[in-house]
Amino acid sequence: MKTLQLFTIFILVSCKNTGEQNSVFSLNKPQSEPYKTELSRQINKTSNQELTYIFNGYQKIKDKEYVDIIIKGEDFEAKTLVLVNYWGKLENIKKKEGKGYKGSELKHLVISKITNNPYSDFEYKDVEEILD
């Protein structure tokens, strides 16, 4: 019985550290207003140095191009699309339409909040480097 209790505690602690603690992210889709609002809140309360941005894909929707990213903080993990108007250091991702970059870290990604875009609340500004 004691072994089962220890195993249960281990599982609970392990699950706690996966970044999936935030119920808003687990109960809503990335396009939903509650999800986007919570993501903005999490980004604003966390230093950019404490966030990890992972490239998850490239998407072209209508006449706009986006990078699909996973943002990881100390107590959350969320997905979002980021509008890209100026590609700068992401130019090779655009050329290859993201092929070969999935899982790469976008070190110190800089994004800004935007409005009036049905697909994204964020726009790409800069990135320090892309780590494969």
pLDDT at 78: 95
Rounded to an integer, what distance in angstroms lies between the CA atom of residue 31 and that of residue 4? 40
Q: How far is CA 79 from CA 8, 36, 45, in A?
A: 29, 10, 17
Rounded to an integer, what distance in angstroms lies between the CA atom of residue 25 and that of residue 49? 22
Q: What are the tens digits of pLDDT across the range 75-123?
A: 899 999 999 999 999 999 999 999 999 999 999 999 999 888 888 889 9
Domain boundaries in the chain? 18-131
Locate tokens 């999800």: which residue? 35
The partner residues of 6 in beta bridges, in order of sequence, read none
Q: What are the tens digits of pLDDT across the range 9-36?
A: 434 444 444 444 688 999 999 988 899 9
**Given 3-state DSSP classes, what are the helix, strand and coil percentages for the chain, each rounded to the nearest 5?**
35, 35, 35
